[in-house]
Structure 1
Amino acid sequence: MFELKLARKARLLRWLMNFYPPYLGAGIRVRHISDDFRQAQVRMGLRWYNRNYVGTQFGGSLYSMTDPFFMLMLLQNLGDDYVVWDKAANIEFVSPGKGRVYADFTITEQLLDEIRQHTAGGDKYLPRLHVEVRDEQGTLVARVQKTLYVRLKPRMRQAGAK
């Protein structure tokens, strides 16, 4: 029953994100969110409305297509006992995006265990997660590093201290 609810939640989130005005305006499409929120794939085509001055993918749109996914995936996998925020980001533009581009996100059980271990005592943890943006030929277009803030919610920190 829980897995069915999660699967519906993943499909609903995918649908909602595809109609989210900033994503619509940039031509970003969420192609897939796995039922367990451990994988996601996003794509963006090159259109007249998301090109930069020299006719390639606008850098802001490249970043935007990677922005919320790690946070959303961690929130779903860690549950209601955790606070998860985006803290910082860095994008390195490697080559021009001259066509459709993709970003594939993955959250592993090892990462979740690492987060739980570092936050068990109530401390914050700042994992650095990486995603690459590639074109249809597999050429690297950009590397994005996201630093997230993860911590047990105050009520859980207090409960653990007792």
Structure 2
Amino acid sequence: MRNLFFRHPFLFRWVMNLWPPFLFTGVKIVTISPDFRYARVDLKWRPWTRNINNTQFGGSLYAMTDPLYALMLFGCLGWDRYLIWDKKADIEYIAPGKGRLTAEFHIEDDQLHSIKAATASGEKCFPVFTVNVRDREGNLVCHVERTLYVRLRHRYRPAS
């Protein structure tokens, strides 16, 4: 099943949009590129995603960025070859978010090359990815840095 999940981006998007932590928080993957290097995610404006100040709940902003970079890296590098986890995240709230919010995720060639080079000997790598969440007018709502844990699975590590 995982092989299909990461081989077909449309299936990945469909399954993730039905995943309860996304479905019930109003998070939706709008698009994902065939090579898993770009994704756009929206956070819907719903009564249950608002806080007491009538702005988007900070936990929903955080949730919309949670698994994307790790899952996109699985699509780029191979889920069967690498162990990839979220290790750390830091969110800086810039302005109140009202209405539908959008985050765009990018993975560049040089990031993939440096991850492969750093893990080739079996070592751990902790790449940092940045995503900005914006409102419909393009105003910055929050800035999120996600640190991932990436390592070759044991059977692909060079013999010590």
Q: What CA RMSD, in Å, does the superposition of the two structures yield over aligned residues?
A: 1.5
Identity of aligned residues (%): 49
Q: Does 1:92 align with 2:92?
A: yes
Matches within 5 A, 1:110-149: 110-149=110-149
Report the AA paired with residue 94 of structure 1.
I
Q: Deviations over 1:65-117 (max 9, x none)?
A: 01011000111111122111111111111000011100000111111100011
Distance 1:30 1:109 in 2: 22
Gaps of 5+ in 1: none
Q: Which moved more, 1:77-86 or 1:138-147?
A: 77-86
Distance 1:155 1:73, change over 3 A: same
Q: What amino acid is the match of 1:141? A: V
TM-score, normalised with respect to structure 2 = 0.92
Instruction: State the partner residue of 2:63.
Output: 64
What SS does structure 2 have at the residue aligned with 1:144?
strand
Q: CA deviation at 1:27?
A: 1.2
Contact 1:7 1:36 in 2 (8 A): no
The TM-score with structure 1 as length reference comes to 0.91
| Alpha-carbon separation, structure 2, partners of 1:23 and 1:17 | 7
Distance 1:56 1:142 in 2: 13
Task: Please list every run of at least 4 consecutive aligned residues from structure 1 whose deviation after the TM superposition is greater than 2 angstroms.
Answer: 5-8
Aligned counterpart in structure 1 of residue 159 of structure 2, from 141, 146, 161: 161
Are 2:87 and 1:73 equivalent residues in the alignment? no
Letter in 2 for 1:62: L
Matched positions, count: 156
Indicate how the Cα distance of structure 1 residues 35 and 6 shifts in structure 2: closer, same or farther if over 3 A, else same: farther
Task: Report the structure number with the largest CA radius of gyration.
Answer: 1
